[in-house]
Amino acid sequence: YPTDKIRNFSIIAHVDHGKSTIADRLLELTGTIKRGHGVAQYLDKLQVERERGITVKAQTATMFYDYNKKESNTNYLLNLIDTPGHVDFSYEVSRSLAACQGALLVVDAAQGVQAQTVANFYLAFESNLTIIPVINKIDQPTADPDRVKEQLKSMFDLDPSDVLLTSAKTGQGLEHVLPAVIERIPPPPGKRDSNLRMFLLDSYYDEYKGVICHVAIVDGCLRKGEKISSVATGQSYEVLDVGIMHPELRSTGYLLTGQVGYVVSGMRSTKEARVGDTLFHTRTTVEPLPGFKPAKHMVFSGLYPADGSDFEALSHAIERLTCNDASVSVARESSTALGLGFRCGFLGLLHMDVFHQRLEQEHGTHIISTVPTVPYIFEYSDGSKVEVQNPGAFTSDPKIRVVASWEPTVLATIIIPSEYVGVVINLCSERRGEQLEYSFIDSQRAFMKYRLPLREIVVDFYNELKSITSGYASFDYEDSEYVASDVVKLDILLNGQPVDAMATIVHKLKAQRVGRELVDKLKKFIDRQMFEITIQAAIGSKVIARETISAMRKNVLAKCYGGDVTRKKKLLEKQKEGKKRMKRVGSVDIPQEAFHAILKVS
Ligand code: GTP
């Protein structure tokens, strides 16, 4: 395949607009996967992804396509680079786009342009990609493709006559997609006779083969047996295997300019495979490709084994998971309440949820996670300035005062039907948002831009936005600057003892309300015990909310009348299971649900 017979493209879309279904249809159309064979949505591999209907890890597949069967030499090699749809993963979107020259921008014919359509459009636009607009789901009774065409024109200046109409469900219109890819998207620009420059797109760890890197050959060619080096680490490797994803790994022995494929080179850990790195032939010199900034971790939480003895198992599970998700940062920490654990940094809240779920599902580890926090910056009276990723690390030295504090903000895009404008403005101002833009994308839909503190959206913002707009709001955000903010550390005390794992950092104006809510929630989740328990929320030495749980009178088995042995056994089993997930803090047993419940207080 000469370079002019290669096309590299991605599909970008708002969540649920049909990106994965279209990808599957294209793979079927080109015979890459069999129709109706195997699992639907081939590119969404992981179990959690399928459960939640989201794409987390970008996957890539090569297709062969005969563009015009009547003529000879019309065989094309098409690389479809899958991108994640969710806001937390815009970092993965931009790195996938770096290997493409074009993108299909898929929009649901009924829902129209949504927040992630806007965000993804701009990512592709800024990377100078050719954009092919596709209005999908035209089979739906509520489809209104003409309205969506107008939105695409007014929002992105996309010509209505360039728009493709498809139904990935019935197959209608899909035959026009690949011809449009070939006709409109330029071939990759690299030079075959230059020195090898290869862009590292992604990597993962395979039990049998070791580290597998997804790469795009920008210039030159790569062959099995050759020696390659990394610009980032200076390490050299021998190419043990090289090939394409079709969609399973298929060894070809070489990759040519413009191709996307995989390389196995005896790297021992994915930590050696830095995404955005440039690989080149050892003993040549090349100009490194524009790299990528490392992922910025925006949400941190502590992870502890629910059963104290399981620390080694948790450690092992985290190690294995991060082997395949280098975007999670991990550092050991210890908590007086929870013992030994880890502080993990995530790209966003969904990223965190997915990680927790995978720990439990794939590794069978029971975990307790602490209240998620964002990275604050504090300036102390001793002149030091520190980033605090853990409320527990907030200075406890009474001689040192906080002189100034800053918190991270995001720029949020919200698209809603116009009747919900009022409630959304209320929600945003309650979350300390500042409105930057407010306009209409058509007669029925409003578009708003807000600056919001990250802290305020990390905790349950999206769910609340969805619920007050009956599910119609769409939302996306990008990281923005730090702004000065008056924040304080809020402690939770059980029987007078601070529980470090429950401490949180909040804005001064919200401290009272959050303190009250935390105390109320904890009261609901902590069972009565043999003695009275006081629950307090405090800032420094000042208590701002308080509740008590009176001592227990009955015991659990008292309910179990007569001699019903199986019932009694069941109850005891249940209690045992419950025990596993308890944490004793001082003398108080705290169920895991209590830790989970307070994650949602904002
Ligand atoms: P993420 O992976 O979460 O980004 O979503 P996605 O954009 O990949 O959407 P996906 O392909 O998972 O489709 C979402 C839902 O829409 C699924 O239930 C599909 O079956 C359905 N769907 C996709 N295309 C069509 C279509 O053309 N018509 C109809 N009626 N439904 C469709």
Encode pLDDT of 262-299 as tens digits: 999 988 887 788 777 899 999 898 888 876 556 678 88
Structure token pair of residue 490: 């809020």
pLDDT at residue 420 is higher than 60: yes
Give me ligand 1 centre to Cα 197, in Å: 36
Q: Give the residue whose CA is nearest to atom 29 of ligand 1.
A: 137
pLDDT of residue 171: 93
Helix (H) and strand (E) counts in the chain:
14, 33
The reply, when asked if residue 17 is annotated as ligand binding, is yes
pLDDT of residue 334: 84
Structure token pair of residue 491: 């402690």
Give me ligand 1 centre to Cα 444, in Å: 24
Burial class (CB in 10 A: 0-12, 13-18, 19+), 553: exposed
pLDDT tier for residue 249 given thresholds of 50, 70 and 90 = confident
Structure token pair of residue 16: 């649920």
pLDDT tier for residue 590 given thresholds of 50, 70 and 90 = confident
Instruction: Tell me the H-state helices in 166-275.
Output: 177-184
Give me ligand 1 centre to Cα 28, in Å: 16
Cα–Cα dist 144/534, whole Å: 58
- Of residues 522 and 438, more confidence is placed in 438
pLDDT of residue 54: 44
> Ligand 1 within 6 A of 17 CB?
yes
Q: What is the ipTM of this complex?
A: 0.97
> Ligand 1 within 6 A of 20 CB?
yes
Give me ligand 1 centre to Cα 19, in Å: 6
Average pLDDT along the chain: 84
Cα–Cα dist 14/475, whole Å: 10
Answer whether 376's CB lies under 8 Å from 454's CB: no
Q: Name which of 33-47, 291-305, 517-531 the model is least confident about.
A: 33-47
Cα–Cα dist 520/541, whole Å: 20
pLDDT of 114-128, one tens digit each?
988 988 898 899 889
The reply, when asked if residue 137 is annotated as ligand binding, is yes
pLDDT of residue 567: 66
Q: Name which of 256-265, 309-318, 407-416 the model is least confident about.
A: 309-318
pLDDT of residue 32: 85
Average pLDDT over residues 132-158: 96
pLDDT of residue 286: 86
- Of residues 518 and 577, more confidence is placed in 518
Q: Give the residue whose CA is nearest to atom 23 of ligand 1.
A: 18
> Ligand 1 within 6 A of 593 CB?
no
pLDDT of residue 191: 92
Answer whether 487's CB lies under 8 Å from 508's CB: yes
> Ligand 1 within 6 A of 137 CB?
yes
User: Which residues have a Cβ under 8 Å from the Cβ of 275 and sit 6 or more positions away?
Assistant: 95, 200, 201, 202, 203, 292, 326
Average pLDDT over residues 483-490: 91
Average pLDDT over residues 214-235: 93
Q: Name which of 38-47, 314-323, 510-519 the model is least confident about.
A: 38-47
Cα–Cα distances (Å) from 460 to 20, 119, 213, 597, in that order, read: 27, 21, 35, 12
pLDDT of residue 344: 92
Average pLDDT over residues 542-552: 85
CB under 8 Å, gap of 24 or more: what pairs does 556-564 form? none
Give me ligand 1 centre to Cα 536, in Å: 47
pLDDT at residue 58 is higher than 50: no
Give me ligand 1 centre to Cα 453, in Å: 32
pLDDT of residue 69: 75
Answer whether 114's CB lies under 8 Å from 44's CB: no
pLDDT of residue 166: 97
Instruction: Tell me the H-state helices in 98-240.
Output: 115-126, 145-156, 177-184
Average pLDDT over residues 231-250: 91
Atom of ligand 1 nearest to the CA of 140: 30
pLDDT at residue 428 is higher than 80: yes
Angle at 44 between CA 12 and CA 361, to 5 degrees: 135
Highest mean pLDDT among 51-60, 568-577, 592-601: 592-601
Collapsed DSSP state (helix, strand, coil) of residue 141: coil
Cα–Cα dist 298/497, whole Å: 29
pLDDT at residue 44 is higher than 80: no
Q: Give the residue whose CA is nearest to atom 13 of ligand 1.
A: 18
> Ligand 1 within 6 A of 90 CB?
no
Answer whether 473's CB lies under 8 Å from 416's CB: yes
pLDDT of residue 353: 81
pLDDT at residue 49 is higher than 70: no
Answer whether 453's CB lies under 8 Å from 431's CB: yes
pLDDT of residue 407: 94
Structure token pair of residue 34: 């069999």
pLDDT of residue 458: 80
Cα–Cα distances (Å) from 75 to 6, 192, 217, 257, 431, in that order, read: 9, 19, 20, 17, 55
- Of residues 50 and 24, more confidence is placed in 24
Cα–Cα distances (Å) from 200 to 174, 291, 353, in that order, read: 31, 9, 27
Handedness of CA 434, 462, 410, 380 (dihedral sign): positive
pLDDT at residue 56 is higher than 90: no
Q: CA dihedral defined by 329, 335, 337, 338, rounded to 10 degrees?
A: 40
pLDDT at residue 411 is higher than 50: yes
pLDDT of 156-196, one tens digit each?
999 999 999 999 999 999 999 999 999 999 999 999 999 99
pLDDT at residue 599 is higher than 60: yes
- Of residues 40 and 164, more confidence is placed in 164
Structure token pair of residue 315: 């450690």
Cα–Cα dist 503/491, whole Å: 5
Strand residues in 318-400 grouped as ranges (E): 329-335, 339-346, 367-369, 376-380, 385-388
Highest mean pLDDT among 314-323, 439-448, 554-563: 439-448
Q: Name which of 115-119, 155-159, 250-254, 558-562 the model is least confident about.
A: 558-562
Average pLDDT over residues 119-148: 94
Atom of ligand 1 nearest to the CA of 55: 2
Cα–Cα distances (Å) from 420 to 46, 164, 343, 414, 463, in that order, read: 35, 31, 38, 11, 15
Average pLDDT over residues 579-601: 65
Structure token pair of residue 456: 């305020």
pLDDT of residue 6: 96
Average pLDDT over residues 542-553: 83
pLDDT tier for residue 557 given thresholds of 50, 70 and 90 = low
Answer whether 279's CB lies under 8 Å from 215's CB: yes
Q: Name which of 59-63, 233-237, 457-461 the model is least confident about.
A: 457-461
Instruction: Tell me the H-state helices in 469-552.
Output: 508-525
Cα–Cα dist 35/25, whole Å: 8
